[in-house]
Amino acid sequence: MPSNTPDFDYVPLADLQFDTANPRFPTSLDGGDQRAVLKFMLQDAGLIDLMRSIAKQGFFPGEPLLVSPAMESRGWVVVEGNRRLAACTLLSEPHLAPISQHAVREVAAGADPTKVLHIPCLKFASRDAILAHLGYRHVTGIKEWDPLAKARFLQQQFEGEEGTVEERLRSTARSIGSRSDYVGRLLTAYGLYQVLEENGFFDIRGLSETSINFSLIPSVLAYSNIVDYLGLQGSQDLSMHELVLGKWKFIARFIFERDDNGKTGLGESRNTRILADVLADARARAALEDGSATLAQARQLLGGSGSAFRSLVSQAEQDLQLARQESVGVSVGVQDVEAVERVRVSAMELRNLVQHRIDGSV
């Protein structure tokens, strides 16, 4: 019987279950559906390599599965080690593979299935006891999960704490050896992610739970201008009662939606600071929101109309010089002449306007 100190034991493979609350599983995945879990696991090519390793060397007792008693049935839930459980399951019963059947059968054919019928495990009294152990290991330790899995894990930890929000944040932070402000920002980012997910990822092409670069969300929350723009009370606003959905939709599209060339409006993550500056300036923000300016162009609108005007003219001059250089050896046609003529007319109109201003006639 498990106690506060985990017991080492060899548990029958048939008594082990996947963890339905595994933070690394997408929320769309039914962790209780063995076929769905195995399919998800097999989509990572590394699982076949893990199967080969276990088939050749056996299951290393020095890295036992961490298990807790199943609440609704006989057996044990594997809270840590679900990939290894999947590998052992497929070595024992290769016919269960929903995909990659040939590769699974090939590896299993060279294995002794009797060697995975009993798996080394550490039996804990509860899932919470294991989570306390995993906090440092996977959130700030040597085997870090991806940012979205970290956020899910911390959300589970936070929900299990008692007291005020501040007390629960401090307690959650202590469990992973981190600071409460880091945990608060990550949980707020996870809240924004959930809003994104609940709204069908705002119909952003190609964006899903498995493709999203979640780390961009806590990154934008590091800037107070963006936090204010979203209507949040701070980067640790877990309730998000005053979140402006339309503005979160704009930010999400700006940082995640890709054009035909695979580029987002933000470009590189280091441009987040520029985005924050632009959102704090009414003229620049309006140009960015209505799509009349890219982030680089909106940045040029900062600092007053005079500065923006000269910056835009300078950029236009540079662009024309580059176009002239690129024209060498390029096959051109009538449409190119017409485009250049439109540029010439616009340049002359701007020149006349500036000259009239100088002459005092405008």
Q: Are 210 and 26 in contact (CB under 8 A)?
A: yes
Is residue 13's pLDDT more than 90? yes
Indicate the angle between helix axes 34-42 and 46-57, nearest 10 degrees: 100
| pLDDT tens profile 309-331 | 776 777 788 788 777 777 776 78
Q: Which helix (H) or strand (E) holds 148?
A: helix 147-159
Q: Over pLDDT 90: what percentage of the chain?
A: 46
Is residue 1's pLDDT more than 50? no
Q: Are 116 and 11 in contact (CB under 8 A)?
A: no
Amino acid making up residue 161: E
Backbone angles phi, psi at 105, to 5 degrees: -65, -40
d(CA 287, CA 225): 17
More confident residue, 253 or 54: 253
Nearest alpha-carbon partner for 188 in 244, 232, 253, 229 = 232
| pLDDT tens profile 211-231 | 899 999 999 999 999 999 999
pLDDT-derived band at 239, boundaries 50, 70, 90: very high
The first and second tokens of residue 163, run together, are 């007291």
- 3 state DSSP class of 58: coil
Q: Which residues pair with 118 in a beta bridge?
A: 12
Of all residues in the chain, what percent are helix, strand and coil, respectively (each to 5)? Answer: 60, 5, 35
Strand order of the sheet with strand 16-18? 7-12, 118-123, 65-69, 76-80, 16-18
Q: Which residues of 117-135 are buried (b: 16+ CB within 10 A; e: fewer)?
A: ebbbbbbbbebebbbebbb
Nearest alpha-carbon partner for 265 in 241, 237, 297, 239 = 297
pTM beyond cutoff 0.75:
no
Is residue 245's pLDDT more than 90? yes
Q: Are 120 and 65 in contact (CB under 8 A)?
A: yes
Q: Give how far the C-alpha of residue 329 lies from the chain's centroid of Cα atoms, to the nearest Å.
A: 43
Cβ partners under 8 Å of residue 209, min gap 6: 26, 27, 28, 148, 197
The Cα diameter of the chain in Å comes to 95
Half-sphere CA count of 290, side-chain side, radius 13 A: 6
Mean pLDDT of all residues in 161-179:
84
- 3 state DSSP class of 27: coil
| pLDDT tens profile 123-136 | 998 888 887 666 55
| pLDDT tens profile 17-65 | 999 888 878 877 888 888 999 999 898 768 898 898 888 888 877 788 9
Is residue 263's pLDDT more than 80? yes
Of 32-36, 176-180, 204-208, least confident by mean pLDDT is: 176-180
What local confidence, expressed as pLDDT, does residue 142 receive? 44
Nearest alpha-carbon partner for 87 in 70, 111, 121, 68 = 111
What local confidence, expressed as pLDDT, does residue 27 receive? 79
| pLDDT tens profile 79-137 | 988 999 999 999 999 999 999 999 999 999 988 888 889 999 989 988 888 876 665 55
Q: Over pLDDT 70: what percentage of the chain?
A: 92
